[in-house]
Chains A and B, each alone.
Chain A
Amino acid sequence: MNFLRTVWAIVGKDVAAELHTREMINAMLVFSVLVLLVFSFALDLRGAAARAAAPGVLWATVAFAGTLGLGRSLARERQTGCIDGLLLAPVERSAILLGKALGNLAFIAVVEGVLLPLLSALFGVPLLRPAMLLVTVLGTVGYAVVGTLLAAIAINTRAQEVMLPILLIPLAIPALIAAVRATGVLADGGALADVGGWIRLLVVYDLVIVAVSMLTFGFVVEE
């Protein structure tokens, strides 16, 4: 119970801080629209080509915009010295990880909430389906949690935020593939039952990555 209260307190703090400045969420949103633009120029996305590419474009954009937000969220903790306060507080380290990760998940979810209707309209794909909600959430949870863990590692290196995408993207590949494939089937009008295998893979990935991240986060922030 105490654990959950801690997690919520950290999420609340991050959301409140972000609502004041909105610098992170705005940067992520503008950046993801830019990525969309780059993709449609680079691949000349019109008609059938756009429909075929939409799932890949969606998740690539989420992955890139996500690293932007994840890196920023931990860098801000350090700039303000807030992370020291959190670590001094008598709370479990894994609660800190989950709190930070849920906050990041919320920010990425906002980006996805904008991207899904935008892609549906621009590329002519029916992405606004209830089943897509499940795929989107499952595709993002593990990414946000391992991304938060690796961001905590990255900000303590000489290269700082530059390090994060290099560490994170190769580890996000299973989730990326599964999410792209599931989205592709759903965009082609498939039912949720048609993507059962991919959903299961996403669930396993999320469970494994959350468990391992929670177990190892304590070692990242000790000292």
Chain B
Amino acid sequence: MRKDVVRRSQRDVLGAVLVGLSSVAMLAALGMVFLYAPREATMGDVQRIFYFHVASAWIGFFAFFVTCLAGIGYLVQGDRRWDALAFSSVEIGLTFITMTLLTGALWARPVWGTYWTWEPRLTISAVQWLIYVAYRMLRAAIEVPERRARFAAVYGIVAFVTVPLSWFAIRWWRTIHPDILMGGEGMAIAPQMVHALVVSVAAFTLLYVTLLWLRMRLERAVNALACLRAITLQKGHSDGTHHSSKGPF
């Protein structure tokens, strides 16, 4: 019991540290994006979307990679915590991919004159978004927790291996995206822009880790509550107190 209390307080400290660190990192990223990075010559200030667009796209992909690894972990070890990691990562990844699509549309409108183009990186983000949504729908359609975890793990793995292939297929299909970091036709990139991008990506990654950690803690709390509820119910029965079979409510 005592050990448990100590571990819980350690978790609280770690949570506070993570939240603090990612807040500072996000502020630093905002500062660099708006104050440090120079104004882009042809696109103007709208180009500053780029730092958030790329960072959230990166998280979208990274989160799905984590889901795939967690899926493998679950299938090998059968530990429910792997499953919690997998779906927490999907929930956060879905949020960030949605942000990628929205910022992409906001950026594309003034620069390319249209909200949506079938540009490879946007298209693969849209495909990924659909896969994430399918993953969530799959989970929602299965009631047995053990089976839900198993099926979701399989889907997470199979879906993830198709992503690089989709990427190649879409890339060969057509491309008008500026080759930003390769110094292609898109935009002139100053060293300060690279610095701002790196900080922004780092801040988003930290934010992802923090959200993931908090989400998994929430899941732990939900499970603990379910356990307590079951114990209370059982106690009630053994005490001879009358309970309806429907639960504590």
Provide the A36-59 mask, 1 if CB < 8 A to any CB of B, else 0. 000000000000000000000000
Q: Indicate if the CB atoms of B150 and A220 lie closer than 8 Å.
A: yes
Query: Which of B54-62, B80-88, B134-142, B239-247 lies at the interface?
Result: B134-142
Q: Indicate if the CB atoms of A209 and B150 lie closer than 8 Å.
A: no
* Residues from chain A with Cβ under 8 Å of B157 in the complex: 212, 216
Q: Indicate if the CB atoms of B143 and A209 lie closer than 8 Å.
A: no
Prevailing SS type, chain B contact patch: helix
Say yes or no: is A26 at the interface (Cβ < 8 Å to chain B).
Answer: no
User: How big is the A interface, by class?
Assistant: 20 to 34
Q: Indicate if the CB atoms of A158 and B166 lie closer than 8 Å.
A: no
Q: Indicate if the CB atoms of A158 and B150 lie closer than 8 Å.
A: no
Q: Indicate if the CB atoms of B127 and A204 lie closer than 8 Å.
A: no
Residue in B134, B172, B173 whose CB lies within 8 Å of A170: B134
* Residues from chain B with Cβ under 8 Å of A163 in the complex: 137-138, 141
Shortest Cβ gap from B156 to chain A (Å) = 10
Q: Indicate if the CB atoms of A174 and B158 lie closer than 8 Å.
A: no
Q: Indicate if the CB atoms of A219 and B165 lie closer than 8 Å.
A: no
- Assembled-state Cα–Cα distance A171/B133 (Å): 13
* Residues from chain A with Cβ under 8 Å of B227 in the complex: none
Q: Indicate if the CB atoms of A201 and B169 lie closer than 8 Å.
A: yes
Name the residue among A146, A159, A171, A181 with the largest chain B CB count within 10 angstroms: A171
Q: Indicate if the CB atoms of B131 and A171 lie closer than 8 Å.
A: yes
Q: In the complex, which residue of chain A has the Cβ closest to the Cβ of B137?
A: A166
* Residues from chain A with Cβ under 8 Å of B169 in the complex: 173-174, 177-178, 201
- Chain B residues 152 to 177 lying within 8 A of chain A, measured CB to CB, are 153-155, 157-159, 161-162, 165-166, 168-170, 172-173
Q: Indicate if the CB atoms of B158 and A171 lie closer than 8 Å.
A: yes
Q: Indicate if the CB atoms of B138 and A171 lie closer than 8 Å.
A: no
Known: A157-B138, A173-B166. A219 touches B150 (CB 8 A): yes
Q: In the complex, which residue of chain B has the Cβ closest to the Cβ of A176?
A: B169
Q: Indicate if the CB atoms of B155 and A167 lie closer than 8 Å.
A: yes
* Residues from chain A with Cβ under 8 Å of B133 in the complex: 166
- Assembled-state Cα–Cα distance A216/B159 (Å): 12
- Assembled-state Cα–Cα distance A220/B138 (Å): 13
Q: Indicate if the CB atoms of A166 and B162 lie closer than 8 Å.
A: no
Q: Indicate if the CB atoms of B153 and A219 lie closer than 8 Å.
A: yes
Q: Indicate if the CB atoms of B166 and A153 lie closer than 8 Å.
A: no
Residue in A149, A156, A204 whose CB lies within 8 Å of B158: A149
Say yes or no: is A208 at the interface (Cβ < 8 Å to chain B).
Answer: yes
Say yes or no: is B75 at the interface (Cβ < 8 Å to chain A).
Answer: yes
Q: Indicate if the CB atoms of A167 and B172 lie closer than 8 Å.
A: no
Shortest Cβ gap from B62 to chain A (Å) = 19
Provide the A185-223 mask, 1 if CB < 8 A to any CB of B, else 0. 000000000000110010011001100110010011011
Smallest CB-CB A-B distances: 4 pairs: A157-B141, A174-B165, A177-B169, A174-B169
Q: 23 interchain pairs (CB within 8 A)?
A: A146-B158, A150-B158, A156-B151, A157-B141, A157-B151, A166-B134, A167-B138, A170-B130, A171-B131, A173-B169, A174-B169, A177-B169, A178-B169, A197-B172, A201-B165, A209-B158, A209-B161, A213-B158, A219-B75, A219-B150, A219-B153, A220-B151, A223-B147
